[in-house]
Amino acid sequence: MKNRSIEIVVSPKPPHYVGDGFRVHNFIPGAFRLDMQRMDPFLVLDYNADFYFPPSNEPKGVGVHPHKGFETVTIAYKGRIKHNDNSGGGGIIGEGDVQWMTAGSGILHKEFHEETFSKEGGNLQMVQLWVNLSKENKKQKPKYQSITKEQMGKVELPDHAGTVEVIAGEYNGVKGPAFTFSPVELQNAKLNKGGKSVFTFPTHYTVAALVIKGSIKVNIEEEVPTDHFVLFNTDGESFSIEAMEDSIVLIMAGKPLREPIFAHGPFVMNTRNEIIEAIDDFNNGKFGVLD
């Protein structure tokens, strides 16, 4: 089995705010080589690196806004986020939890710091990943998957190396709870210092990793520090990571959809005309309402 080599290691760009509650480094799209076609089926990756928000009586976040044509996956590593949408989904995304929202044919939602977290202040660290839907699945009815850390698949690695949490897909025969419309693998490798793990995916999959905490060595030789993103080539199946210190690494892999991508703001469709239709539908109230 041939090793999968590294295509590029990307350092975080200067942060910007999404609303007033999320201070993010954007890796997908926009970073060198990380355009939507190359990262298919992944469209956007915004990373709120570990950041302290002071106490606020008014929760910070993003007000009501639309999405259509894809899914958003929010992973909370620190802090708590409150979500509501007009499909009936909503709740608190606590530390270690995941929210998987299917925008599908069109949804309105909002996300803010949870009230108690906002009033007390604290560190927020999270990832939001957009996963594309195929042309057919862009018509899906919106839905919401709330995945707690207790529900995730867990694999204890040998030699006290650490744990792999499986959000979606499978690791060493243990499956994650998330339903996906196309093959997507999403896993947290939580490694103790010196701990090692090996990940294997089909050669043609898009595969990447984000170092959430600590620092790692990939394939024995390439050191990757915290808050850096690794994109792998499509030249092999397996790669290894070793923790230089206690580390958390988000592993993401997906089967490319190989369909045209036409993106405009919160809408991702296959053609320009479909984007125009989405904008018209939103402006004409066809997405519904959300207070």
User: Is pLDDT above 80 for 234?
Assistant: yes
- 141 phi and psi angles, rounded to 5 deg: -65, 135
- CA-CA distance, 94 to 102, in Å (whole number)? 19
Residue 222 pLDDT > 90: yes
Query: What is the pLDDT, as a whole number, of residue 145?
Result: 94
Say how far apart CA 136 and CA 217 lie, in whole Å. Answer: 40
Q: Who has greater pLDDT, 283 or 205? A: 205
Model confidence band, residue 291 (pLDDT cutoffs 50, 70, 90): confident
Average pLDDT (92-98) is 96
pLDDT at position 87, please?
Answer: 85
Please check the confidence at residue 34 and state whether its pLDDT lies above 90. Answer: no
Check pLDDT > 80 for residue 227: yes
Rounded-to-integer distance, Cα 43 and Cα 263, Å: 9
Query: What is the reported pTM?
Result: 0.96
| pLDDT tens-digit series, residues 173-219 | 999 999 999 999 999 999 999 999 999 999 999 999 999 999 999 99
Q: What is the predicted pLDDT for the residue at 31?
A: 64
